[in-house]
Amino acid sequence: MRSNALITCVIAGVQYLIHPQKLGTIDATIHPDALIPVTLLDTDQLEDPNLETLLKLYDLYDDVFIPEFGSVLVEKTPISAASEQLSPHVNDRPLYRFANDSSIKEIGELPSGPYFLYGPNLYQAWRLYADDLDAFTTGIIPEDVDSPTIFRPLGALDKQGLHKAVPVPSKLYYPPPAVSGPDQPLSGVRIAVTDAMSIRGVPRTLSSRAWVETHPERPDESAELVEHLISMGAVIVGKTKTSQFTAGRDWIDASAPLSPRSDHYQRPEGSSAGASAALAGYYWLSHAVADDDRGDSLDSASQEGFFALRPSSRSLLTHKVMLATKMFSGISVSARHLEQLLSISDALLDFSSETQITKLLRITDLEEGLDDPERSLYEDFVRAIETEIGVKSRTVNLSKEWKRSVNKKSSLRDKLNTSGFVTFCHQFYRRFADFRNAYENEHSHQPFLEPTVRTLWSYGASTPEAETEQAEEEIQEIRHWLRKYIFSNDNKTAIVLPIISPEHVYRDEDLPLQEPRNLLRSSGLSALLGLPSLNAPFAQIPFRSRITNATEYRPISASIFGPHGSDVALIKLVQNAYRTAQWRTHVDTGRFTFPPAANSRNVDEMKTGYGDQQHPNYLTGINSVTEDWESPEL
């Protein structure tokens, strides 16, 4: 039995959603409107002399559980089979038992943890977090917690009524991945997915009012990648904002996400701005799965300072994902911990054998834009990778080699960017032809488009077919040359590249004119070639903010990409290199990517950042608390 109404409440200052699916009924007379936070435990746990310690561990491990849930206890065993040794009170706490009700799921299978009694009925407790960065289009909940195939968008606001609320279930409802078995490597892991991805029951917006008017229906099918994530135990908590039609940048129909880094007024970067803001800002979120337009999800990850992988082409399912183009668009996965990025990548990507990286290549003409502070830091990163591989990197100048081996007169950068722009605009325009036709048929006028999208579609519509075909042929020619020249068919070479971005771009500044995107950059090359690319933050640089008039820090990242199928090997390489160099393998949420320090990388390697101590690594679960943590309260 389920209710269409969603009930929220505030307990000790924390906002909760009572999931509408009834799980059982207790054998007690309780007012039907009473709302009581309770902890569900089995008989052995209730009889354990360390019950108080267990409740404190729940509070320490689970961000949904707070001490108020431990004030009232519910025994899993039905009243007819309950332990006769247990009184109606345990440790001065009221104890309830279930009534016999064969129509309800076997209550013994319910996980121990926090729940709500609404009247005599038991419901799951979901904590509501305020989306104060405006990163989500909506939070979602499954209609059935036991079979999460159909979802419901959440219209609730936070307790102050200012922001959307994103619901998360208790971590105690799921066994941690370390003990959940090989079929559930993402058990209980909280993941946000891009709005471009179809979720059954949840409308898409694509940051376009015209799209919503034309497609108000709720999808009756989820993207294959969403289904795959759920089958491995992941918890999809919501959909993050993408720029208009996954390629805009103006944020007119939808409000732009706020950057949690530095002064909070840096302009959001790329189509995956919502995913980046959420992952960099919310400690309760483990991963973001984002859309990628010509490598821009890695640019956004660099700006916001977290680890992100754009996997090898065709390694992730893209059915029911609205991507701008077939040639340049893709999907990225990200995390704040390298260990967690390795875990989700290993679970999602199916490669029969792991690539062994034994060679390192630097592309010197892509390092020319580095200023002195960034160049020095980049050399530190290169040395760390060289040390781990055990070889010195070799260098190549792509532009010079292109002129030497292919065409002395043409510029590789100009040819690539021009042909790439023509091809992208043509494919992007054609991708949304059905939408434009449907909208114009219904409204008798064209849909509103942001300036960037309007420019791209106008160019795509006006370019002659012969010019488009020539551009696509030139792209294929460049692809063939790059693959042959860079890797020499050895499948053992990784390319390390700096990520060069503006020092700071404030969100109140005018956008520059739309120009062909530079594909001759780290993330652009990997997108062009369909090769895996990893964004790896490792340092930060101070700057004086005109917003706060204080010293802020912007993250510094490098990129490393390798042969097709080397996705997991790249993550392991960077993880081992960081450990050897004694660098942090995780970043923090909020203002600072790393705790600041007065050293060459401006990183305090020893200090624990916000969110680390309160919320342990999801991979090991509550066992990590009992084995590794010390609490004076215990």
DSSP H or E run through 459: helix 451-462
Any domain includes 356 = yes
> Tokens 């490792």 identify what position?
538
The answer, yes or no, to whether residue 26 has pLDDT greater than 70, is: yes
Which of 101-110, 402-411, 573-582 is the least confident region?
Answer: 101-110
pLDDT band at 281 (very low <50, low <70, confident <90, very high): very high
CA distance 74 to 340: 34
Three-state SS at 11: strand
Q: What average pLDDT score do residues 574-602 get?
A: 97
CATH of the domain at 264: 3.90.1300.10
Contacts with 456 (C-beta within 8 Å, 6 or more apart), sequence order: 247, 424, 425, 428, 429, 514
Q: What is the pLDDT of residue 157?
A: 85
Q: What is the pLDDT of residue 79?
A: 55
Q: What average pLDDT score do residues 287-291 get?
A: 96
What range does the domain containing 438 cover? 133-149+175-603
Range from 240-244, 327-331, 479-483 that averages highest in pLDDT? 240-244
Contacts with 90 (C-beta within 8 Å, 6 or more apart), sequence order: 46, 51, 73
Q: Where are the alpha helices (DSSP H) in 488-621?
A: 522-529, 567-581
Q: Which pLDDT tens digit goes with each residue over 508-528?
A: 888 776 666 778 887 788 888
pLDDT band at 246 (very low <50, low <70, confident <90, very high): very high
Q: What is the pLDDT of residue 489?
A: 65
Any domain includes 280 = yes
Side chain identity at residue 331, one-letter code: I
Greater confidence (397 vs 77) lies with 397
Greater confidence (356 vs 609) lies with 356
The answer, yes or no, to whether residue 244 has pLDDT greater than 70, is: yes
Q: What is the pLDDT of residue 534?
A: 96
Q: How many domains does the chain have?
A: 1
CA distance 391 to 131: 46
CB 235, CB 126: distance < 8 Å:
no
pLDDT band at 615 (very low <50, low <70, confident <90, very high): very low
Helix 224-231, helix 338-348: angle, nearest 10: 110
Side chain identity at residue 153, one-letter code: P
Q: What is the pLDDT of residue 613?
A: 40
Range from 190-194, 415-419, 473-477 that averages highest in pLDDT? 190-194
The answer, yes or no, to whether residue 472 has pLDDT greater than 50, is: yes
Any domain includes 92 = no
Tokens representing 409 are: 């007169």
Any domain includes 477 = yes
Q: What average pLDDT score do residues 46-72 get?
A: 95
Q: What average pLDDT score do residues 18-37 get?
A: 90
Q: What is the pLDDT of residue 488?
A: 66
Report the mean per-residue pLDDT for the chain: 89
Any domain includes 155 = no
Any domain includes 40 = no
Greater confidence (76 vs 1) lies with 76
Any domain includes 11 = no
The C-alpha R_g of the chain, in whole angstroms, comes to: 26
Three-state SS at 146: coil
In the chain, what is the straight-line distance between the N-terminal and C-terminal CA atoms, in Å? 40
Q: What is the pLDDT of residue 407?
A: 76
Q: What is the pLDDT of residue 609?
A: 58
Dump the DSSP string for 298-314.
HHHHHHHT-EEEEPPTT
Any domain includes 565 = yes
Q: What average pLDDT score do residues 449-462 get?
A: 95
Q: Which pLDDT tens digit goes with each residue over 136-172?
A: 999 999 999 999 999 999 988 888 889 999 999 999 9
Q: What is the pLDDT of residue 627?
A: 34
